[in-house]
Amino acid sequence: MSKIFLFDALRQATDEEMHRDRSVFVLGEDVGHYGGSYKVTKDLHIKYGDIRVLDTPIAENSFMGMAIGAAITGLKPIVEGMNMSFLLLAFNQISNNAGMLRYTSGGNFKIPLVIRGPGGVGKQLGAEHSQRLEAYFQAIPGLKIVACSTPYNAKGLLKSAIRDNNPVILFEHVLLYNLQDDIPQGEYFVSLDKAELVRSGNDVTIVTYSRMRYHVLEAVNSLVKEGYNPEVIDLISLKPIDINTIIKSLQKTHRLLIVEECMKTGGIAAEVIAQVNDNSFDLLDAPIIRLSSQDIPTPYNGILEKATVVQPQHIIEAVQQLLS
């Protein structure tokens, strides 16, 4: 085992896959000589050259379209969004091309494309740089969507995504890049469609993902001292949602709390609630509670910014409410 930062785990995954397969290449703004906005591609241009680590103009729709075309021809592009919010400029290419071409071509084309980069509410990055786009992209047919939360699953998910023959979006939270953890030195992979059971318990099921995993665990530490025994699930896969793991947990706890940084309206929690109601409504002994960010642009002011996002105390109070 070796302790590394999350950004370096992503860099290792990219390096290993580029070394293994010459069809893998990286493109995006400042991914080459600058090393990426969060250093995920640092020094890779020295090892692989300026073509396989390709600096692009500031034109998201253009280089996303180029990446999709490259994927059709058999290459395996990794597109880094300097900030995932900027990829809204490439929404047409991602939805009408990346998500659809395998289907509209009758299976003649595969789209082995990875789209990854930083997102989420940072620290006073302003509304345009603090967006959570998982709900935007979740509705697009043909995409797989995952959100990493630890150095271990970041590396394993990226390696799995690169080897997948379908377009995969990997969401990385801007505040988790400097998170450190032990990861195996040998090669490993993390499934693109499975949730992780983070903590076993029997009182209440708490479903979360990305940065909110740590808010949940902070709250759980306090709840355990009060005699509660929550079960914690990290979704990891946002599309498809691993509903079977959630149902298995509800068979024990019969109560569900969903914690997300996504907006409440049309968010990931809304989809989880719908699937639970469709598949296992009879397991519930109490109404589902969801804690989400407020439906407003994220303020720049630090105090107001914090007020828009779920905090550990909110989670503690929600669990107490469910079990009262």
**Is 196-323 CATH 3.40.50.920?**
yes
- 2-183 sits in which CATH class? alpha beta
User: CB-side exposure of 180: number of CA atoms within 13 Å?
Assistant: 4
Measured between alpha carbons, how far is 159 from 173 in angstroms, rounded to an integer?
A: 18
* Domains 2-183 and 196-323 are alike in CATH topology: yes
Domain boundaries, the chain: 2-183, 196-323
Q: Spell out the SS3 assignment of 60-108.
A: HHHHHHHHHHHHHCCCEEEEECCCHHHHHHHHHHHHHHHCCHHHHCCCC
pLDDT in the model for residue 122: 86
Q: Structure pTM?
A: 0.95
Phi–psi pair at 186, nearest 5 degrees: -80, 170
CB distance 276 to 250 below 8 Å: yes
CB distance 206 to 231 below 8 Å: yes
Q: Which residues of the chain fall below pLDDT 70?
A: none
pLDDT in the model for residue 277: 96
Measured between alpha carbons, how far is 191 from 174 in angstroms, rounded to an integer?
A: 22
Q: Annotated catalytic sites, by residue?
A: 60, 129
- DSSP tag of 183: E
